[in-house]
Amino acid sequence: MKRDPETGLLVSYGPDPSDGLLDALDIFNWIESELWVVSKEGEKVPFKLNPVQTLLAQYVAHCWAQGNAVWLVIPKGRQMGISTFWKALFFAVSLHREGFLSVVMSHDENSVSKIFRHTHSFLDSLRPEVFRPLQSRQGNYVRWDHESSIQVCSAQSGDAALRGDKINAIHFSEVANYCDKGETKGKAGYKAGMQALVRNRRAMVVMESTAKGREAMFYANCELARKGGTQFVLFFLPWYLMDEYSVTWEDYRAEVLTNPKADDPGEEFVPTEDEILLRAKLRDMQVSLDEVTYRHPVNLTDEQLIWRRRQIADQCLGDVEVFKREFPSFYEEAFTSTETCMFSNETLTHYRDTSRTCSARGNVLFNDAGKPEFYTHHKGNLRVWSHPRPGSTYTIGADVASGAPNGD
């Protein structure tokens, strides 16, 4: 799927597109021609896929072309339009297919009405010739006469969420926040959503979030997807994929000098050691999902590094760790920064980079004689780097968690 330079429409680049790909082209071209959104500047503008949304559209088109369901887990940076993309896609598919039931699950009750404003905005922007009769329109629920619907619910509803419903698509929004009020309800809400899903080739299941360190739910799902232990495909989206996340040195310098007490940063951009290391790391590492979907560009421009520097100073209170959490540059970085960790990210990264593989792994079980004995197993709970020496004294430490109601 690519954009025709003359018409601006999304078209197939293959000689014989499948029905699934044609469906995707029709849906995304319809979205861009009929739907409106509110820009970051507060203006109502036509929906136009940004670079990140275009990557997601290409992946959806790929799945539909292959006749496969869409299962994605997406760690990402902030304000990239990802939630808006899925709301628009669910809206368009619900409008065009009979009996297509879709759900957005927010992390708490307060965000339900905020999330659903997009659906009301989409409805209000439709031209009369494409508007379809509604059966019901409530605060967080829309149902058309052709039996398709969109609703928003909260993960904090627990196992009461979507009870008795059967749905075709679900978007789990900001999953890293699901367990903020304790793990029980957030996980129960997620399970309720998955149990309501009709698993077939039409299904769409999306988990997306900005990470919050290595919390109990989103990080675990990302790791399962990364290791191939689930149907979800890991789709990491770094901040530098956004064209707007760049600024010229002239503009940056002019902004700095509006403060009479600020030092002049100089006439030319000179990268810091941290910026040089980041650029080299991204250039040297393979930051990609697979050849079918996309390969991230990894050569950061000066303008992107300047934007990063400005963002750290203005929006992150000068704390680079906050930036890494809000705008990760690579997958591992999304989960190494946390607000509640005792040790600094530099310390943790140092020991992760210098650590070595354990010499043995297994479980301690009682043998036939009733005595504890170590049995090797590749998924054992006990990892051994150095075997104990008789006569030595050892101290055991345990993580006592952060005091969460359902913590360790």
3-state secondary structure of 281: helix
pLDDT at residue 128, rounded to an integer: 86
Q: What's the rounded Cα separation, in Å, for the pair 372 and 355? A: 28
Q: How far apart are CA 107 and CA 175, in angstroms?
A: 7
Q: How many CB atoms lie within 10 A of CB 26?
A: 13
pLDDT tens digit sequence for 124-133: 888 888 888 8
More confident residue, 255 or 356: 255
Helices (H), 11-101: 19-34, 51-66, 82-96
Per the CB < 8 A criterion, the answer to whether 1 and 58 are in contact is yes
Q: Is the pLDDT of residue 288 over 70?
A: no
Name the one residue in this structure whose structure tokens are 């929906």: 47
pLDDT (tens digit per residue) in 166-192: 889 999 999 988 877 666 777 888 888
| Band of pLDDT at residue 134, cut at 50, 70 and 90 | confident
What are 89-107's pLDDT values in tens digits? 999 999 999 999 999 988 8
Q: Write down the pLDDT at residue 401.
A: 62
pLDDT for position 14: 62
Rounded mean pLDDT, 303-314: 94
Tokens matching residue 387: 């075997």
pLDDT at 303: 96
Work out the pLDDT band at 290, boundaries 50, 70, 90. Answer: very low
Rounded to two decimals, what is the model's pTM? 0.78
Q: What order of strands is seen across the sheet that includes strand 141-144?
A: 134-138, 141-144, 149-154, 101-106, 169-173, 204-209, 70-75, 233-234
Residue 339 pLDDT > 60:
no
- Other beta carbons within 10 angstroms of residue 371's beta carbon come to 7
Per-residue pLDDT at 141: 83
Q: Is the pLDDT of residue 5 over 60?
A: yes
Express each pLDDT in 215-251 by its tens digit: 778 998 998 888 888 899 999 899 999 999 999 999 9
